[in-house]
């Protein structure tokens, strides 16, 4: 039987490379590459019925992920996170079918575990000594954890504005961390130079094509959890764009195999203080104008020059998708609403999809009967400093019950 993995293909010029090679960029034109899969082969060896009998993690869809030898899989049970229907916010907003995909419940507290599991598995397959990543935090934490499990090296470069909670977590797993006196894009450039010099895998967002292959399992799970009926809207916050690219690809693969009957609309959200994709989308440009100094409370999506835009743009055009920005004030409002109405403690970037839902609803782009899935990409404890600023100081009372009751009655 022929392989289900075909090649690595340049998204711009179409040049193809052997998938056994550690290729992140086209050797002809320098653009990013993506895996090509043979869906006839995949369809002949796996079915929805077969998948339903497997364990509840992202590797239940292993035929779709370009790891040749399954013994190389490095997993901590990531994926198959809960998809819950809104219990209070939906009715408050006038939406009948609002859902939250709780990817904040992955092993390291974010959706980045999907990409890390795939990336470290491929590192083992290629017999690479380690990964050099760049990150605002979550991806670095995930890389560090999975490299620790696989017993391979990990180096993470992060911009100096990255969350200290996340930086500490990366270090806790034993990864070497270097804070860059510059932007996310500076960290990216340095990570590539280091990886090239020491012969490790360059691991960051869409520039490591296996990452989107792990992220696309989000689409499979959402469809399976909804009875193999895709939502009307799939809403994802984006920095580099890897997860949204993966989701688009995942939905498209299910459509190719006739496992679903249509594509959902994909809505990507950025913060106004760092929204290069929004500007490019609205001007119908294939290129982004870099944001030199991102300014947003949502540090996890503060990517000024996202390499994934050409590929994400192509997918969004295919599914009538959109990219929109929300303000930090709108993000904070959604951040508080998720916690106080649904008991969901999300980090700011993970609350941005709800902020976009409100914006699209007010513009009559979303209908009250639409099935809407918001991806909650990261847990609130990832950015406690923001929480402390939002909630302020707690009230101190004496140890006398009457004083306590008096305060309660007056508040």
pTM beyond 0.75: the answer is yes
* Per-residue model confidence (pLDDT) at position 247: 96
Greatest distance between any 2 Cα atoms in the chain: 78
Q: What is the CATH architecture assignment of 83-107+211-390?
A: 3-Layer(aba) Sandwich (3.40)
Structural contact between residues 307 and 207, judged by C-beta atoms closer than 8 angstroms:
yes
Q: Is the pLDDT of residue 307 over 80?
A: yes
Q: Which residues, 6 or more positions from 338, have their beta carbon under 8 angstroms from its beta carbon? A: 89, 100, 344, 345, 346, 351, 354, 376
Q: Is the pLDDT of residue 328 over 90?
A: yes
Distance CA 10, CA 332 (A): 39
* Per-residue model confidence (pLDDT) at position 164: 84
pLDDT tens per residue across span 160-217: 888 888 899 999 999 999 999 988 889 999 999 999 999 999 998 889 999 999 999 9
Rounded to the nearest 10 degrees, the angle between the axes of helix 138-150 and helix 164-172 is 10
* Mean pLDDT value across residues 146-161: 95
Burial letters 356-373, b for 16+ CB under 10 A, else e: bbbbbbeeeebeeebbbb
Q: How confident is the model at residue 106 (pLDDT cuts 50, 70, 90)?
A: very high
Other CB atoms closer than 10 Å to residue 388's CB: what's the count? 10
pLDDT tens per residue across span 253-303: 999 999 999 999 999 999 999 999 999 999 999 999 999 888 999 988 999
Sheet holding 201-203, edge to edge: 176-180, 153-159, 130-134, 201-203
* Mean pLDDT value across residues 328-353: 97
Q: How confident is the model at residue 15 (pLDDT cuts 50, 70, 90)?
A: very high
pLDDT tens per residue across span 30-49: 999 999 999 999 999 999 99
Other CB atoms closer than 10 Å to residue 323's CB: what's the count? 25
Domains of the chain, by residue range, sit at: 83-107+211-390
Tokens in use for 57?
């993690």
Structural contact between residues 209 and 8, judged by C-beta atoms closer than 8 angstroms:
yes
Q: Is the pLDDT of residue 1 over 80?
A: no
Question: pLDDT > 70: what percent of the chain?
Answer: 100
Q: How confident is the model at residue 395 (pLDDT cuts 50, 70, 90)?
A: confident
* Per-residue model confidence (pLDDT) at position 385: 86
pLDDT tens per residue across span 212-258: 999 999 999 999 999 999 999 999 999 999 999 999 999 999 999 99
Question: pLDDT > 90: what percent of the chain?
Answer: 86
Poorest-confidence range of 90-94, 156-160, 161-165, 300-304?
A: 161-165
Alpha helices in 199-308 (DSSP H): 210-215, 217-225, 242-256, 276-282
376 CB burial (10 A radius; 0-12, 13-18, 19+): buried
Q: Is the pLDDT of residue 397 over 90?
A: no
Could you tell me the CA-to-CA distances from 318 to 313, 357, 377 in Å, in that order? 9, 21, 24
* Per-residue model confidence (pLDDT) at position 218: 98
- Reduced to 3 states (helix: H, G, I; strand: E, B; else coil), residue 347 is coil
Q: Is the pLDDT of residue 410 over 80?
A: yes
Q: Is the pLDDT of residue 140 over 80?
A: yes
């Amino acid at each position: 039987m022929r392989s289900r993995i075909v090649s690595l293909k340049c998204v711009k010029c179409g040049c193809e490379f052997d998938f056994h090679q550690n290729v992140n960029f086209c050797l002809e034109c320098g653009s990013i590459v993506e895996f090509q899969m043979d869906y006839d082969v995949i369809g002949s060896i796996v079915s929805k019925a077969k998948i339903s009998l497997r364990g509840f993690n992202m590797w239940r869809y292993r035929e779709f992920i370009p790891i040749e030898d399954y013994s190389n899989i490095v997993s901590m049970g990531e994926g198959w996170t809960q998809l819950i229907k809104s219990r209070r916010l939906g009715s408050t907003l006038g939406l009948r079918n609002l859902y939250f995909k709780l990817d904040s419940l992955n092993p390291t507290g974010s959706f980045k575990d999907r990409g890390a599991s795939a990336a470290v598995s491929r590192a083992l397959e290629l017999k690479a000594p380690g990964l050099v990543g760049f990150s605002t935090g979550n991806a670095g934490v995930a890389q560090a954890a999975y490299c620790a499990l696989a017993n391979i090296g990990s180096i993470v470069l992060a911009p100096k504005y990255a969350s200290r909670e996340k930086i500490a977590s990366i270090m806790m797993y034993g990864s070497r961390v270097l804070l860059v006196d510059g932007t996310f894009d500076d960290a990216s450039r340095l990570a590539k130079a280091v990886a090239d010099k020491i012969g490790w895998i360059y691991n960051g967002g869409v520039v490591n094509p296996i990452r989107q292959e792990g992220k696309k399992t989000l689409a499979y799970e959402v469809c399976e959890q909804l009875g193999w009926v895709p939502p009307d809207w799939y809403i994802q916050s984006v920095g580099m764009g890897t997860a949204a690219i993966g989701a688009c690809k995942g939905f498209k693969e299910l459509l190719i195999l006739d496992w679903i009957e249509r594509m959902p609309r994909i809505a990507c959200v950025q913060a106004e203080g760092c929204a290069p994709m929004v500007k490019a989308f609205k001007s119908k440009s294939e290129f982004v104008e870099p944001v030199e100094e991102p300014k947003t409370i949502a540090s996890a999506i503060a990517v000024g020059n996202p390499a994934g835009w050409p590929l994400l743009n192509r997918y969004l055009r295919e599914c009538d998708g959109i990219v929109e920005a929300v303000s930090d004030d709108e993000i904070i409002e959604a951040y508080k609403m998720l916690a106080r109405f649904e008991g969901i403690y999300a980090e700011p970037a993970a609350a941005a999809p709800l902020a976009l839902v409100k914006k699209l609803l007010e513009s009559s782009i979303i209908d009250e009967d639409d099935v809407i899935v918001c991806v909650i990409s990261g847990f609130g404890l990832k950015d406690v400093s923001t929480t402390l600023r939002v909630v302020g100081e707690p009230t101190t009372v004496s140890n006398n019950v009457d004083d306590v009751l008096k305060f309660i009655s007056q508040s």
